[in-house]
Amino acid sequence: MLRKVDINTVLGWLKDVEGADYQSFTEPEFTVQKLEFVPFLLNFLREQSSQVLTNGPATPAKTPSHPRPAARTQGFSDKLAGRSTSSGAGSRSASRVQLFSPAPSVSPGSESEAAGPSGLSGVSAFSSPSFSSTRTPSPRLPGSERRCGQRVSLGDYMFSPPENSPNHQSHKGRKKGGGSTAVGGQLRHEGGRGDLHSNEAGRWEAGGRRSARGVGGGHTRMGEQVSPPFAGQLNLNNLEDFPPVGSSPISPATSKPSRRINPTPVSGDRPHSKPKTCFTSTPFQKASSPLLETEASDGLMTAGSSMRLKEERELLKREKTKRAQQVASPLLSALDPCTPTKTGARTGSKVTSDMPTSPEPSKVTFSSELDVLVELYCTCISENLVPNIFLELFFVMQLLTSWAHHTHDNEEQKSLCAANTEVLERCYLRQVHNCVYFAVKVLENQFQLIAHLDKCTLRLLAENERVACFSPDLRDRLTQAQDRSTAKLSPSASTFIHSVPFQPATDNRSNFFSDKAFHTFKKQRDVFYEVLREWEDLHKEPGWSFDAALGGRIRGIMSQLTSAGNHSHFARLFLKQLVQVCKGPRPSSSSVDAADADLLGMLGADSLGRLKRLEERLIQPHGVVGPCPPPSFPGHQEFFRDFIQTASCCQLNQHLQDSLCQQLLQLDEVSILSPADEKQRFSSVLLLARLLAKFLGFISFFPYQTSGRPSRDIQETSVALRSKVTSLPVLDVCAVLNNSIRRKRTILTVPWLVEFLSMLDFIGPLLLCYRTTLGSLLLLYRKLQLNRSEEMCYLNKLLLVSVLGWLFQVRRDTRMVQLKLGINALCLVSVCSGEFRKLLAAFVSGSTARSGGIIRKITPTSAELKDTPTAMRSQQKLQVDLEQAFFHNQPPSLRRTVEFVAERVGSNAVKHMKATLVRELVERGEKMLRDGLESPNSNASMLNESICARLCEAGLEALAKATKYCDEKSPEAIRVLLPDETTPTVKLSWGHASKMTLCLLCEALVRREWRSKYDRVIKVLGSPKQGSERVMCCPPHCKHNSPLPSDILIEIKVHFSCCN
């Protein structure tokens, strides 16, 4: 079908529905179909490529395939399991269930007809309307008619009347059983919508009618019968859950009935994913996916046993056994973590079997079909129809870096493909050529998104030989984008941690109520750091246990705290240290520097280090976790989490909570004038807020955490209990969110709220306040579309899409694996680009190891990096570090003052220069130009150049003048603004001011000269001497010629002893 249908129509259709939504255009067929179409498409792609990905050799490039995002891994394994046990149709739906929500595919409701039992034919059914619409100018009515016709035929083999009733019965029976999985899925599905739209019922009736109309008598009955139970279920079980959301005052923006939202598969999926942890009650949640599938597929299978199905099953079985043979061994290993030995072993075995194929554009088959697929797929991404954009990007990267070796030769492949008359059965993505072709095309298409990835990822992509081979144009664009890219990955926890500076204003004796408290805290501070250092050194050692090693000392601190009443001091230290270590990118380092450092870090100073790092990355069992890792506490955060757990000190927790809450609300109120100016500040605030919110969430929900999902009874009791608790929850998330939406500050609030909510315990989402908040967030998410030009800018939307997508993805599977949500500062795209990068880096080393050339690809770039004076680079870095270090131990007000002064003075200097010297220069230049032009044989351009050169020379004077200006003005300002004892900082502020001035004044080249010049001036002037001369000081120019006291003493001693 994919081939047959006119692509533009489908695209139009996909987009049109969107448009239709906005226009409140009611066309249930479309909406429901799209709901089905997208999951189908995505699953189709996964399934198609599963061969290549799971079958890939055990090279690093393959690593991605096993530690896939939880949802997908599960999907794959389940699918494979399903293949061996059940029929093809079952496995198909199974995989779909996994990848997407079971709701659209499994539930026996109206949708299941198309997407359910026989995905293959179902698709042809829903593709038809668009197909027909190509031919008819007014497609709607004829389209639906035509489709009806097709659907009948489809329905014939899908549900013949006699089989319909068993199906229905089984459905009923399950429902009676209390929370059947299938109904659960559907219900959740329904509920997810119900909570958001009051006009749901009408739509669903329409949907029901549609199916009835389409499928015929038996189906009419079923459609009608099915719908009411849903309503009933909704009312009975979920009404208590959902109405509050629906009825809650949703902000004006969101309350607009947005028809679009309903039909998207996203909406079908997300309500499910969320309910799984958020909205539904136990039975549904307990329905673990495998159970769900088997049950569902069983039911459906027994129901649909038509001839056609059998045929299909046979066909698929054959196919499956064939595949199973191929897959069997790699699959086993694929499930294991990739250990070095294993890699080696497998690589060995692979070598013996056959060499991997490198993809070639010429070997791509089905290219026109692939193009169609690409178009469809990209539209889904662009329209935010996919559950999570980054999941899809990750998938594309996997395709790009996939390895496949021919276990069967091309001939067989071809015959297999050709023999397959069923369009969908063709192996579009069976071969690595096709995969890469597909991936590259998608990347080309989604360039806008890709271009926002971080520099390293872009670099890796641009240097990927496959990209270069398949699309030199894309490579060029990537290279360009790389230069433009300011996105950087938040560096992993730096090797060097800063301590919390001792500030006499808050830390000296006068801040404690007794000497004892003061001295106790002194000891506690040291023990705290001692514990932290020990953790750093040892926590990765096998068999090391936090509690066993550090528990005693931590509890010691706690008991001392209690006796001394130092909790607030300790909480402050604890939080400050947390922020210090875990906040991520340092706030003031300029983005360029950081990006460079990042690059350096990535590539290493020498190839050895680089190789080592790559190796480490490959050896790590969790090398690639996928773009949606579950929430966790990476790096040093783990220490703080474990500390809180081990200390389990309620007083401390209370202090921490209070402080976190206060800081968060403060941060949330931070005024950010214009994002362009305050990029740095915004990203720093955002990162900080996210960190704090995560810990606030952790501490707040810690008391309620259970190892497993509680039973329904317990759940109800807890909900009742916790809802009635009169005391307010720690943070009024609802109010915060609503307030933020009203004030259009979601870009700051939502990311940290997401962090907070990701820490929810099992019961948490059932509580009114969190339920409401999650509902609002969901609404917000659905409204986001990257390509729509709204008032929100692209990056902001991308940020929201990524964090919300993450939340709804993560809270869907409850397994705790590992989190690395390295969300970046402002260009937050890099949420998962780290993972992309790993994937790509793995590919690089994999491919080089394969081709025998050692780091063929990286060496030239590193050489190029080395060419740039590393000494200077490190000097610059050192300067930045020094500045950092200076401000670190000073009160924050100092920094603000200095920056303010620098900015103002710099700006004034520029104005001054402009008004005086520059104008004069320009006038002089003008005169010179005129004179020159009057002379007979004059060349304007040459004249221009020479004048320019002369002016630039004269312009250097401007630098000197500006310097002088800054030198004169900034100390004055600083002196007035800062307390007296900070004199030496004056010098510093000059430096800073000058830097700012430079940025405004000069071009990059001149800047350096100017800087050294300026510095020399500074040197000449000398910095104000600190009046710290003490009595013991020698007078100036003392050569220390007088004998030292100790010498005299010794002489005396010797003299005495000799005399004796």
Q: Residue 221 corresponds to which amino acid?
A: R
889 forms part of the interface with another protein (CB under 8 A): yes
Q: Report whether 105 contacts 93 (CB < 8 A).
A: yes
Shortest reach from residue 891's CB to another protein, in Å: 13
Tokens, residue 755 = 């962090």
Under 8 Å between Cβ of 555 and 646: yes
Q: Toward another protein, which CB reaches closer, 720 or 871?
A: 871
When asked if residue 596 is in the footprint of another protein (CB under 8 A), the reply is no
Shortest reach from residue 904's CB to another protein, in Å = 21
CA 222 – CA 912 distance, rounded (Å):
82
Minimum CB–partner distance for residue 711 and another protein (Å): 48
CA atoms within 13 A on the CB side of 59: 27
Are 743 and 671 in contact by the 8 Å Cβ rule? The answer is no
Which residue of 176, 815, 930, 1019 would you call a contact of another protein, by CB under 8 A? 1019
Of 403 and 528, which CB lies nearer to another protein in the complex structure? Answer: 528
Residue 743, Ramachandran bin (φ over 0: left; ψ between -120 and 50: alpha; else beta):
alpha
Encoded tokens for 71: 């949802």
Residue 798 near residue 384 (C-beta atoms within 8 A): no
Contact between 1012 and another protein per CB under 8 A: yes
Stretch that binds another protein, among 372-380, 709-717, 845-853, 1027-1035 (CB under 8 A): 1027-1035
Q: Which of 508, 870, 893, 939 binds another protein (CB under 8 A)?
A: 508
CA nearest neighbour of 284 among 374, 399, 208, 175? 175
Judged by CB under 8 A, the stretch of 17-25, 527-535, 696-704, 927-935 that binds another protein is 527-535
Task: List, as one string, the DSSP characters of 268-322.
Answer: HHHHHHHHHHTTS-HHHHH--HHHHHHHHHHHHHHH---HHHHHHHHHHHHHHHH
Answer whether 184's CB lies under 8 Å from 287's CB.
yes
Q: Per-residue x/- mask for another protein, residues 457 to 486, rule CB under 8 A?
A: ------------------------------
- By CB under 8 A, tell whether 604 contacts another protein: no
Taking CB under 8 A as the rule, does residue 1037 contact another protein? no
Nearest to 99 by CA among 52, 39, 181, 48: 39
Asked if 412 interacts with another protein (CB under 8 A), we say no
The residue (of 412 and 1029) whose beta carbon lies closer to another protein is 1029
- Which among 238-246, 485-493, 515-523, 697-705 is the span making contact with another protein, rule CB under 8 A? 515-523
CA distance 40 to 136: 26
Q: How far out from the chain centre does Cα 825 lie?
A: 11
Q: Can you tell me the distance from the alpha carbon of 451 to that of 431, in angstroms, rounded to the nearest whole number?
A: 27
Taking CB under 8 A as the criterion, the residue among 172, 221, 315, 529 binding another protein is 529
Of 52-60, 428-436, 496-504, 928-936, which part binds another protein (CB under 8 A)? 496-504
Q: Closest separation between CB of residue 738 and another protein, Å?
A: 42
Q: Of 280-288, 665-673, 702-710, 1015-1023, which segment contacts another protein by CB under 8 A?
A: 1015-1023
Q: How far is the CB of 31 from another protein (least distance, A)?
A: 59
Contact present, 282 and 712 (Cβ < 8 Å): yes
Decide: is 509 part of the binding site for another protein (CB under 8 A): yes
Beta strands, E only, 595-680: none
Q: Is 882 in the site for another protein (CB under 8 A)?
A: yes
- Does 1053 help bind another protein (rule: CB under 8 A)? yes
991 binds another protein (CB under 8 A): yes
* Per-residue contact flags (x/-) with another protein for residues 531 to 550, judged by CB under 8 A: --x-----------------
- 501 near another protein, rule: CB under 8 A: yes
Three-state secondary-structure class, residue 2: coil
Query: Which range, of 53-61, 333-341, 682-690, 984-992, touches another protein by CB under 8 A?
Result: 984-992
421 binds another protein (CB under 8 A): no
Distance CA 311, CA 302 (A): 15
Place of tokens 């800047």: 1007
Q: Is 883 in the site for another protein (CB under 8 A)?
A: yes
Which token pair is 108? 């026996």
Q: Tokens 């009160």 identify what position? A: 891
Q: How far is the CB of 1012 from another protein (least distance, A)?
A: 7
Residue closer to another protein by CB (options 529, 704) is 529
Interface residue with another protein among 553, 888, 975, 1007 (CB under 8 A) is: 888
Q: Is position 885 an interface residue for another protein (rule: CB under 8 A)?
A: yes
Residue 878 contacts another protein per CB under 8 A? yes
Supply the minimum distance, in Å, between the C-beta of residue 509 and another protein.
Answer: 5
**Could you say whether residue 1021 binds another protein (CB under 8 A)?**
no
Using CB under 8 A as the binding criterion, the count of chain residues that bind another protein stands at 67
Residue 1011 touching another protein (CB under 8 A) = yes
- Interface mask (CB under 8 A) for another protein, residues 629-648, using x and -? --------------------
Residues 879, 907, 916, 1042: which binds another protein (CB under 8 A)?
879
Residue 1034 is a binding residue for another protein (CB under 8 A)? yes
Closest approach, Cβ 941 to another protein, in A, equals 38
Distance of alpha carbon 790 from the chain centroid: 22
**Part of the chain binding another protein (CB under 8 A), chosen from 247-255, 522-530, 834-842, 897-905:** 522-530
For residue 963 the two structure tokens come to 């310097």
CB neighbours of 265 closer than 8 A, spacing ≥ 6?
34, 35, 36, 37, 38, 39, 100, 104, 385, 386, 387
Contacts of 985-989 spanning 24+ positions with Cβ under 8 A: 985/886, 985/890, 985/894, 985/898, 986/1023, 986/1024, 987/1018, 987/1023, 987/1024, 988/883, 988/886, 988/898, 989/897, 989/898, 989/901, 989/902
Which region among 16-24, 32-40, 203-211, 1049-1057 touches another protein (by CB under 8 A)? 1049-1057
Helix ranges (DSSP H) in 485-628: 504-507, 515-538, 546-564, 567-582, 591-603, 607-619
Q: Does 520 bind another protein (CB under 8 A)?
A: no
Among 302, 874, 938, 1042, binds another protein (CB under 8 A): 874
CA terminus-to-terminus distance, the chain:
115
Buried b (16+ CB within 10 A) or exposed e, 30-45: bbbbbbbbbbbbbbbb
Contact pattern for another protein over residues 564 through 593, marking x by CB under 8 A: ------------------------------
| Residue 533 beta carbon to another protein: minimum distance, rounded to whole angstroms | 7
Site membership for another protein, residue 988 (CB under 8 A): yes
Report the SS3 class of residue 101. coil
Tell whether residue 1049 is a contact of another protein (CB under 8 A).
Answer: yes
**Block residue for tokens 């704090």:** 692
**Could you give the residue ranges of the DSSP H alpha helices within 354-452?**
367-382, 389-400, 410-419, 432-445, 447-450
Among 525, 567, 636, 694, binds another protein (CB under 8 A): 525
Q: Which DSSP state fits 56? A: S
The least distance separating another protein from the CB of residue 900, rounded to whole angstroms, comes to: 19
> How far is it, in rounded angstroms, from Cα 392 to Cα 439?
11
- Establish if 972 lies at the interface with another protein (CB under 8 A): no
Please give the residue ranges that form the binding site for another protein (CB under 8 A): 495-496, 498-499, 501-502, 504, 507-510, 518-519, 521-522, 525-526, 528-530, 533, 874-875, 878-879, 881-883, 885-886, 888-889, 983-985, 987-988, 991, 1011-1012, 1015-1016, 1018-1019, 1022-1023, 1025-1026, 1028, 1030, 1032-1034, 1038, 1040, 1044-1047, 1049-1051, 1053-1054, 1056-1057, 1060
